[in-house]
A and B are shown apart, each in its own frame.
Chain A
């Protein structure tokens, strides 16, 4: 990306993260150099134990970096007090929030905390900002609902609205899609992406959702164990082979041609296959799970013809018709 065109909101310079104990330091990751630009949605990815959460905590000022500096608007974050920092960045964490007698509106109004006086009086402007934040996350109809009546997805939206109400250029979220079902995971990611583009805020989130991150992130920071962090657009990282390197194990592979992660099942048998879509695709997938791979037709292996919810198996002059994949899978070993 052309840094001349975009303004860097946050920048890390040779940051080492980890925990300092009385006598020794335990380093989790080092040489972290990266920046996030205005209006950008950035996903922080990495295997468990690569230090995503620690990095998020360090950037949000909850935990000091062991060395190096983190700058927001070209000012070191450790030189700022809590209130100044709260005006520069807002956080959405994985901590569970359970407050009785508290509505969505109340929680979102906490976002105005750094901007109000000691009494916490909310002005007309504050009210407008809070309502606007609630509307942006689509909770206007829920604003008087009590927090404990909300689903996990709605709770997460509430916390995002709180961060919006804090009115900062930079929002940092620690695994915002954890505990959510797939439609909610997609909705939250889409929401964050739209917010980044429409409000020109920079949004950094850590996530385990590789597929989703590939689809929505403007750029990705990819943390690896015992190796430098990689930065770039998801597509660049894929084409450079970084995804395969970081995430592929003996158990699964990142398929560069489809963009999907594929679980490796050791192939023990072969069949040949003909027929129509979508029966071909789903038959292949079902067979793959049982270690059966598809090859070109030849006489030493069974042949399956799949079409119209009918599966014809031919092998050693025997013939058998199945009406479901379940039947097919139980018929195959007998052939």
Chain B
């Protein structure tokens, strides 16, 4: 009974350490003394504190929020669709975001014109707003369609259709765009935690944190939903409301994160599995905080890997998360098999 709490404490304790590492290491390593000094006293060396406050901290904060939000979104989707392969993007929310960005930046869109004059617009607020608009559009469509569907597997198919239509439109836009525009867009699809200003992070956090708390408030109903919709109803869960809330929260978390960072692969789908395997439970009261904490640690670690000291260029975060998470899942599966015997 006490074991899950102990694990949660361990992961929570690990988080500030990984967070600090993420601030310390980068294309140049910052001495720990400087980070300490930046955090707890006013007088520090200015070059370091500029890097810390303008680059490293925003970056780590975005990684932290992404790691908290996406796994929780993925967990909700997996429970909702009763499908272990479901993730935050199962209903096409982040392809919706990419459509927004594509319309903005490709095929002579406003952002594209700026981009062709070598403005790096796709890290600005314009791209964020467009991605958010695209993601919200798909989310609204899903929420309008969802109550009409009697079972979740039909909804899943509809979601996949939405997502293929959107990616087809994105492909068309790419096909008719000039190389410069395409390059800008491709960079966006690699995902990035950098270039987001602290003010924007404030917006991001003020959306993500309440959404996470609301999702945690749904844990009891989500547990009942594990038995299937009919049993959940028999246990007194208002299915219509739960369906709407789950879809809304899960897509919303995915939409907000994708709008700010671009697509981040695999985290949302894989981390709930890691949490289940480590915590050996299906109870959302444990899985929601567990997924969030493991996610935050892992995404910060991925960010650390993506900008390993000694390398001039940082690897795209979208690639690193996939490369890191997949072996972790495989490892956890194998080791937990061994424990079971």
Chain A interface residues toward B at CB < 8 A: 60-62, 81-87, 89-91, 93, 95-97, 99-102, 106-107, 110-111, 113-114, 116, 118-120, 166
Contacts and interface: CB of A to CB of B under 8 A. Distances in A.
A100 B238 contact: no
B236 A82 contact: yes
A95 B233 contact: no
Nearest to A95: B228
Nearest to B84: A100
Contacts of B239: 82
A91 B226 contact: no
A93 B235 contact: no
B220 A85 contact: no
Contact of A106 (B230, B237, B282): B282
A120 B276 CA distance: 19
Interface string B281-295: 111010000000000
B235 A110 contact: yes
Nearest to B229: A95
B282 A110 contact: no
A101 B224 contact: no
B205 to A, nearest CB: 24
18 contacts: A61-B233, A62-B230, A81-B238, A82-B236, A82-B237, A82-B238, A91-B231, A93-B234, A95-B227, A95-B230, A95-B231, A97-B227, A100-B276, A100-B282, A102-B281, A113-B224, A120-B219, A120-B223
A113 B280 contact: no
A34 B45 CA distance: 85
B217 interface: yes
A86 B231 contact: no
Given A87-B236, A91-B234, A120-B219, A101 B226 contact: no
Given A91-B231, A95-B231, A118-B217, A101 B236 contact: no
Interface in B212-227: 217, 219-220, 223-224, 226-227
A114 B281 contact: no
A110 B223 contact: yes
A99 B226 contact: yes
Contacts of B227: 95, 97, 99, 107, 110
The winner among A84, A97, A99, A114 for most chain B CB atoms within 10 A is A99
Contacts of A89: 234
A82 B233 contact: yes
A114 B236 contact: yes
Contacts of B217: 118
Given A106-B282, A106-B283, A120-B219, A113 B228 contact: no
Nearest to A84: B236
A164 B219 CA distance: 23
Nearest to B280: A101
Contact of A101 (B223, B231, B281): B281
Contacts of A166: 235
Contacts of A118: 217, 220
A61 B231 CA distance: 11
Contacts of B233: 61-62, 82
A249 to B, nearest CB: 32
Given A97-B227, A107-B227, 10 more contacts: A81-B238, A85-B236, A86-B234, A86-B236, A91-B234, A93-B230, A99-B282, A101-B282, A110-B224, A119-B285
B234 A60 contact: yes
A114 B236 CA distance: 6
Contacts of B282: 99-102, 106
A103 to B, nearest CB: 10
Q: Tell me which of A61, A89, A93 has the highest count of chain B C-beta atoms within 10 A of its own C-beta.
A: A93
